[in-house]
Chains A and B, each alone.
Chain A
């Protein structure tokens, strides 16, 4: 089990220490098949704030599939506290205004016990205050750092998905130690790209490396040569986080620019999530590295329940739908829905959840959790949960593209993803 380094992660350790005894136990998740507190046969209502339509629809489709599969499994194992789980799906159109409406609808009209599943951070940011106002537990699966930064309230938690800051931080040791010291960052010139630039820069410098160029590309740009020309000659590693429909043109033009003499290249799979890596034009990426939240291609060393998870969510060994090999899953992100639902179940069991009056008990029960061991409930890998910041921390994966498939090259330690706490939500009132 990973333990945080005490000298640099003082506040986080405070939380972990609180539960030191519990940490020693093999699992804080109660036996998931156990239930025995049934007071009613009414199903528990779990609201999925789904990106059914809009810019997030390709993620939303897989988030929903995964959630349906997780709920089916929970119900086939007896439900939660003797009650079946009902998944209520409301489309937020990947729109912050609708997102806030959906939280109200799921809470007031559909009488959901909890709400979960939002990915896009602008929807989260607009929905979180409403969840706090309505006092409904709101479990996000977003990667947003805003939660751990203290921007939300006590009702918002992210126990099943690591945040972008911890992901970027944990890449720095691998990049500096294995790929080279001089790093050039090329990023889309808006908040998403700025996050990567601003989180990576100090992390690389702490490892003794140098950021030799920070190249922002306007979001609507389609011709990239003039930006490639700004990459210094002494660059060892090119770190790219371009996203959107122009990403494949970007890769194609990068290949034409460098031909056979390129630096090492490191990217985030967010750029090519749900994209077939064998698409013509992407050959240039062969031998380059990617961060992955959860390896898309089944790895020989994967845990035994990985196959069971893939089967449940209908994803094959190459990360595609079992019914359509061209329908690539958003595999690096969708595990978050599966894990979050299992953590909600564990929390409800710990809190002896019966009615909506127990919502605060549920939040306290999850805040008390500190470690989720890897299992079929938590297939992506073990996680350390920080009850104060409501944020989970876990292993990150670095894969290399070999023969058109991503091969796992490195798994970071959980401690590599830690950063100082910025908030203690347990001090906030309900």
Chain B
């Protein structure tokens, strides 16, 4: 037969994959390069169906909706917009029972059990309780609950629960200076995202258990040394993140009464945030956004990676860490420049230059809080499909814990097990993909609309003049419109 197998070397230039593999031994590099000559192939994900949709039309509609909101809030009388921050009392008596003691203890016990499962349980990340509960139930699910229902995390924080067992009232050994702000939480938040984006296997039960044990030790030590109040509000990034999102929930407490209001009213009633908290808000938006960007063909192409022959997380780890840091930095600088530009506009064309009483730092901190609805919407849009698939595994674990435990303890009984196939057929059907995609788009647009309204409400507190209020918002409005485009483009573009 006249077929000659071409030498592998001729393929290497075409794949360009060799340079991406930097963390492995030379032997492994050789193996990967040889493998590049074979049939790595990409599958059709739901993004394949999305590419068939008239996405440009939806993107334009979304941009128009956000722009129209910006114009509308600018021309509405101040009395109308003031309703934004005024909640209505709910006729529900406040319960005086402090359940945090009990729920905290239960959740700390649950944490210990989950860590045990991580270390000694099933190595399969979709059959082990730790990765399923941490990533799907906690990180994706509870975050959404926080934004819709309110601060549930405060009641179930396992580390705080442990501390409460020892000290019902807070008793710090050392006082954490207020000047420290939430910078430690911001730093730990970035560390968490680095683990999530760049670790080889963040859902591997053993690795996750190790990471969570390290964080638990740090947190428990911090709680006992610096006290619950300081540590949770300045260093424990999950609490800082979850509390911020809970400010978006319609229901909340105001003057010790249970109230309901427009999403974000609590944010407007909140005390003036520190610059570190403002930056933390921008970090949540930047990190969440980059989590979407890093999966796009655009990003992979930018990094010289062929997305159809994607070599896995190990090939993009360093690029993703660099991208995460760079994107967050870019976002913070751009946002600060927008606020600065807004101040310049007020100075130059405002009603009264003397009206500029609030400092740049305070304006930046306050306006940065307004991006939280966008961060929340991105979280929903980004994790929706993952949630829809993985929640089925969680359901299996909850409904059939005995069976799954038996699989692990007595694996050969597997013959009778696993009739409950997890299905992802809705991601391979154009009708359901369209519904899912539209719900993601609506979330992103709604997030920006809310953000635009909050920006206006916050800006109104800086100036007595409406003209000044509008002027300071103009650069941020342009920024938000661009961000709306980015969000909708992310949903529409080809990605892994």
Q: A75-B412, A98-B200 are in contact. Are A59 and B43 (CB under 8 A)?
A: yes
B306 CB-CB contact with A under 8 Å: yes
How many residues from B make CB contacts under 8 Å with A?
77
A418 CB-CB contact with B under 8 Å: yes
Shortest Cβ distance from A390 into chain B, in angstroms?
15
A135 CB-CB contact with B under 8 Å: no
A245 contacts B47, C-beta separation under 8 Å: yes
Selected contact of A122 from candidates B311, B424, B432, CB within 8 Å: B311
Shortest Cβ distance from B312 into chain A, in angstroms?
2
Selected interface stretch from B19-27, B226-234, B283-291? B19-27
Selected interface stretch from A269-277, A290-298, A366-374, A398-406? A269-277
- Encode B1-31 as 1/0 by CB contact (under 8 A) with A: 1111110100100110100010110011001
A110 contacts B3, C-beta separation under 8 Å: no
- Encode B180-191 as 1/0 by CB contact (under 8 A) with A: 000000000000
Selected contact of B494 from candidates A52, A122, A220, A321, CB within 8 Å: A220
Selected contact of A274 from candidates B8, B44, B201, B310, CB within 8 Å: B44
Chain A residues, Cβ within 8 Å of B11: 191, 194
Interface members, chain A 323-364 (any B CB < 8 Å): 323-328
Interface members, chain A 93-125 (any B CB < 8 Å): 93-98, 100-101, 105, 110, 120-125
When C-beta atoms are compared, the residue in chain A nearest to B297 turns out to be A220
B39 contacts A144, C-beta separation under 8 Å: yes
Chain A residues, Cβ within 8 Å of B203: 53, 91
Chain A residues, Cβ within 8 Å of B201: 91, 93, 98
Give Cα A285 to B142, complex, Å. 44
Shortest Cβ distance from A147 into chain B, in angstroms?
9
Give Cα A142 to B300, complex, Å. 25
**Inter-chain contact count A-B, CB under 8 Å?**
290
B48 contacts A243, C-beta separation under 8 Å: no
Interface members, chain A 1-37 (any B CB < 8 Å): 8-9
A122 contacts B32, C-beta separation under 8 Å: yes
Chain B residues, Cβ within 8 Å of A142: 38-39
Chain B residues, Cβ within 8 Å of A245: 42, 44-45, 47-48, 51, 494-495
Q: A89-B124, A146-B34 are in contact. Are A281 and B52 (CB under 8 A)?
A: yes
B126 CB-CB contact with A under 8 Å: yes
A413 CB-CB contact with B under 8 Å: no
B430 CB-CB contact with A under 8 Å: yes
A72 contacts B27, C-beta separation under 8 Å: no
Q: A86-B411, A220-B301 are in contact. Are A247 and B48 (CB under 8 A)?
A: yes
A121 contacts B40, C-beta separation under 8 Å: yes
User: Range of interface residues on chain A?
Assistant: 35 or more
A327 contacts B47, C-beta separation under 8 Å: no
A58 CB-CB contact with B under 8 Å: yes
Chain B residues, Cβ within 8 Å of A308: none
A97 contacts B5, C-beta separation under 8 Å: no
B312 contacts A192, C-beta separation under 8 Å: no
Q: A105-B123, A219-B307 are in contact. Are A122 and B428 (CB under 8 A)?
A: no
Shortest Cβ distance from A107 into chain B, in angstroms?
13
A214 CB-CB contact with B under 8 Å: no
B414 contacts A88, C-beta separation under 8 Å: no
A409 CB-CB contact with B under 8 Å: no
Selected contact of A422 from candidates B5, B36, B311, B425, CB within 8 Å: B5
A249 CB-CB contact with B under 8 Å: yes
Selected contact of B309 from candidates A71, A219, A321, CB within 8 Å: A219
Give Cα A270 to B422, complex, Å. 23
A324 contacts B415, C-beta separation under 8 Å: no
B42 contacts A244, C-beta separation under 8 Å: yes
B271 CB-CB contact with A under 8 Å: no
B314 CB-CB contact with A under 8 Å: yes
B48 contacts A54, C-beta separation under 8 Å: no
What secondary structure prevails in chain A residues at the interface with B? mixed
A320 contacts B31, C-beta separation under 8 Å: no
B432 contacts A52, C-beta separation under 8 Å: no
Selected contact of A202 from candidates B2, B35, B52, CB within 8 Å: B2
Give Cα A314 to B313, complex, Å. 31
Give Cα A129 to B27, complex, Å. 8
When C-beta atoms are compared, the residue in chain B nearest to A164 turns out to be B39
A55 CB-CB contact with B under 8 Å: yes
Give Cα A72 to B124, complex, Å. 18
B272 CB-CB contact with A under 8 Å: no
Give Cα A333 to B414, complex, Å. 23
Give Cα A123 to B127, complex, Å. 22
A222 CB-CB contact with B under 8 Å: yes
Selected contact of A419 from candidates B1, B43, B311, CB within 8 Å: B1
Give Cα A237 to B197, complex, Å. 44
Q: A97-B314, A128-B31, A320-B425 are in contact. Are A188 and B308 (CB under 8 A)?
A: yes
Among B37, B39, B300, which residue has the most Cβ atoms of chain A within 10 A? B39
B51 contacts A125, C-beta separation under 8 Å: no
B429 CB-CB contact with A under 8 Å: yes
Q: A146-B37, A146-B38, A274-B428 are in contact. Are A248 and B48 (CB under 8 A)?
A: yes
Selected contact of B28 from candidates A75, A129, A189, CB within 8 Å: A129
Selected contact of A198 from candidates B6, B23, B36, B297, CB within 8 Å: B6
Q: A88-B123, A97-B312 are in contact. Are A249 and B51 (CB under 8 A)?
A: yes
- Encode A58-101 as 1/0 by CB contact (under 8 A) with B: 11010001001001100110010000111111110111111011
Give Cα A144 to B11, complex, Å. 15
Which residues of B does A touch, CB under 8 Å?
Answer: 1-6, 8, 11, 14-15, 17, 21, 23-24, 27-28, 31-32, 34-45, 47-49, 51-52, 123-127, 200-201, 203-204, 297-298, 300-301, 306-315, 411-412, 414-416, 418, 421-426, 428-430, 432, 494-496
Q: List 12 A-B contacts (CB under 8 A).
A: A190-B309, A199-B3, A219-B297, A219-B307, A220-B300, A249-B51, A279-B52, A279-B430, A324-B423, A325-B425, A419-B3, A422-B5
Which residues of A does B touch, CB under 8 Å?
Answer: 8-9, 43, 50, 52-59, 61, 65, 68, 71-72, 75-76, 79, 84-91, 93-98, 100-101, 105, 110, 120-126, 128-129, 142-146, 149, 151, 164-165, 169, 188-192, 194-195, 198-199, 202-203, 206, 219-220, 222, 243-249, 252, 270, 272-276, 279-281, 314, 320-321, 323-328, 418-420, 422
Other than the known A248-B51, A324-B425, what 12 A-B pairs have Cβ atoms closer than 8 Å? A87-B414, A96-B28, A125-B32, A145-B39, A165-B5, A198-B6, A219-B309, A220-B494, A244-B42, A252-B52, A326-B425, A420-B1
